Amino acid sequence: MNYAAVRTASRAARGIITHDEDAFAGMRAAGRLAAECLDMLVPHVVPGVTTEHLDDLAREFVLDNGAAPACLFYRGYPKTVCTSVNRVVCHGIPEAKPLREGDIVNIDVTVIVDGWHGDTSRMYPVGEIKRAAARLIDVTYESMMAGIAAIAPGKTIGDIGAVIQEIAEGARYSVVHDFCGHGIGKVFHAPPNVVHLGPPGTGAPIEAGMFFTVEPMINLGRPDVKVLSDGWTAVTRDRALSAQFEHTVGVTEDGVEIFTTSPAGLHCPPYG
Ligand code: MF3
Ligand code: CO
Ligand code: CO
């Protein structure tokens, strides 16, 4: 066997599938709608709004566009989006409590279009935020985009994590280990696990046609998280801020295609 054949065998043995051009077209449509949903929410994330209201807006937007909200009823999850505020790392459940000036919130949406899943999240500042919060958001976005830029056939999943880890730890932040990105496509959560840590050269080999998410969670303090008694909400144990961005991507012959780029150019804050 040559190296390309070894990589294919290793990838397939891990249960990772590759996709054809029709599948890329399906993912483009799903990814675009998910990104448009996050664009739509931008002007609504203001002091006094409840995350439950943001969830209502997202659900109506997805349904009005003929798509399905993937999270609603997924493993018992009760809402369309996850809204993770301040120390919430991920999977915060929208609630009736108003957002306050200075909060930072991640909104994560997954839509299903023609059976294909588009999964993306961004950080939203609520009014004026502190410089430390803005810097955490900037570095988290930078780490995700640098991780994505490291994707190409012949690389490994560990190469993505290594880049993310280097940027986050270089800024004196920590990378959450308990949650990771995932394969995606017709299935919401599939192999491989996309761990947001190195070392380089480890993990599944990357091949053209793979679809997965890159969704680093970066903490201002320690990496340790715990899940609250609702069974979903993951928070930092030290109560320090956490930030996250997420894109869904496809591996091409010579690199990577991002399916969830903001059509409105609202990639990361400040949005106004
Ligand atoms: N969208 C999340 C992810 O990035 C998954 C949320 S699962 C839910 O994979 F059930 F909490 F919505
Ligand atoms: Co995801
Ligand atoms: Co997501």
Is the domain covering 3-258 a CATH 3.90.230.10 domain? Answer: yes
Q: Which ligand is nearest to the CA of 214?
A: 2
**Cα–Cα–Cα angle for 228, 174, 262, rounded to 5 degrees:** 85
Whether residue 73 has its Cβ less than 6 Å from ligand 1: no
Q: What is the pLDDT of residues 149-195, one digit of tens each?
A: 999 999 999 999 999 999 999 999 999 999 999 999 999 999 999 99
pLDDT of res. 1: 83
* Cα–Cα dist 256/237, whole Å: 35
Choose which residue among 82, 211, 227, 228 to substitute to test ligand 1 binding: the one with the highest number of ligand atoms within 8 A of its C-beta.
82
Whether residue 119 has its Cβ less than 6 Å from ligand 1: yes
Largest CA distance in the chain: 61
Q: What is the pLDDT of residues 216-231, one digit of tens each?
A: 999 999 999 999 999 9
pLDDT of res. 97: 98
Q: How far is the CA of 45 from the centre of ligand 1 (A)?
A: 20
Q: Which two tokens stand for residue 174?
A: 């920590």
Choose which residue among 55, 72, 107, 108 to substitute to test ligand 1 binding: the one with the highest number of ligand atoms within 8 A of its C-beta.
108
Q: Which two tokens stand for residue 31?
A: 């990814």
Average pLDDT of the residues in 18-27: 98
Whether residue 159 has its Cβ less than 6 Å from ligand 1: no
Strand order in the sheet with 217-219: 174-175, 217-219, 242-244
Whether residue 77 has its Cβ less than 6 Å from ligand 1: yes
- DSSP letter string, 179-213: --EEE-SSSSSEEEEE-S---TT-SSBP-TT-EEE
Q: Which residues pair with 69 in a beta bridge?
A: 111
Q: How far is the CA of 2 from the centre of ligand 1 (A)?
A: 38
pLDDT of res. 145: 99
Q: How far is the CA of 9 from the centre of ligand 2 (A)?
A: 25
**Strand ranges (E), the chain:** 68-69, 81-85, 88-90, 104-113, 116-125, 174-175, 181-183, 190-194, 211-214, 217-219, 225-227, 234-236, 242-244, 247-251, 256-258
Measured torsion, CA atoms of residues 196, 184, 203, 14, in degrees rounded to the nearest 10: 150
Please report, for the chain, the start and end positions of each structural domain, with discontinuous segments joined by +.
3-258
Is residue 255 very low, low, confident or very high in pLDDT (cuts 50, 70, 90)?
very high
What is the pTM assigned to this prediction? 0.98
Buried b (16+ CB within 10 A) or exposed e, 234-254: bbbeeebbbbbbbbbbbbeee
Contact 212, 167 (CB under 8 A): no
Burial class of residue 170 in the structure, from the number of CB atoms within 10 Å of its CB (0-12 exposed, 13-18 middle, 19+ buried): exposed
* Cα–Cα dist 218/220, whole Å: 7
pLDDT of res. 272: 84
Q: What is the pLDDT of residues 262-272, one digit of tens each?
A: 999 999 999 98
